[in-house]
Copies of this chain bind each other. A is one copy, B any other.
């Protein structure tokens, strides 16, 4: 799927938008995709067991494509296998959360630096997302703020024009999905200016170093609410 899939409309379409590439999606891919967005939206709680046959019944498909979808997410480590071989929603360990943050620092930082080449319209779109985030903060709609924050980071990452890097980062976000809903458990940070704003300004000024540093700071200082929902790392 991937590169030929619906992920990147990208090229300026002349055709009316009901003309879209025929994507013949297999049953396993559809199940995969649905489970993936459910994960990213925090709709699957850690330790939830996803048994094969009940799941395939819920999706109205047979065991074979269901298993393919589940195993694919396992291979991406968005899901995991317990001792029995059952698929479960994994619980992040502290080590893992810290490591993911460090990797995101590198990769999202690089993407942000590369994003200074973006057309102004794309930067405007980024700013629009952040404006919505600010609104959600004001109205204390944290559930939506979480999803918008994810969208901000992934959109920025996409602007970097590095598809391989983007997919890696996206996988890292999926892995954090099950605990992302607790992002604001510590309350709304009162940074002034908000790092997102600094990113946007840096992009507008073509300052790649500033863009990189701003994202890095956003990653490093944010997300404190997640740590409470993380498993103490195993002894080893």
Measuring CB to CB, which residues of chain A are less than 8 angstroms from any residue of chain B?
1-4, 10-11, 64, 67-68, 71-72, 75-77, 80-81, 96, 99-100, 102-103, 106-107, 110, 162-165, 168, 172, 236
Contact = CB atoms under 8 A, between A and B. Distances in A.
A53 B30 CA distance: 24
Contact of A164 (B103, B110, B163): B103
Contact of A68 (B68, B77, B164): B68
A163 B75 CA distance: 15
Nearest to A67: B68
Given A72-B72, A72-B75, A106-B110, A99 B2 contact: no
Contact of A99 (B80, B106, B162): B162
Interface majority SS (helix, strand, loop, mixed), chain A: helix
Contacts of A64: 64
* Top 6 A-B residue pairs of the complex, sorted by shortest distance between their CB atoms: A106-B106, A99-B164, A72-B75, A99-B162, A11-B236, A103-B165
Contacts of A75: 72, 75-76
Contacts of A80: 3
B162 A81 contact: no
A4 B72 CA distance: 17
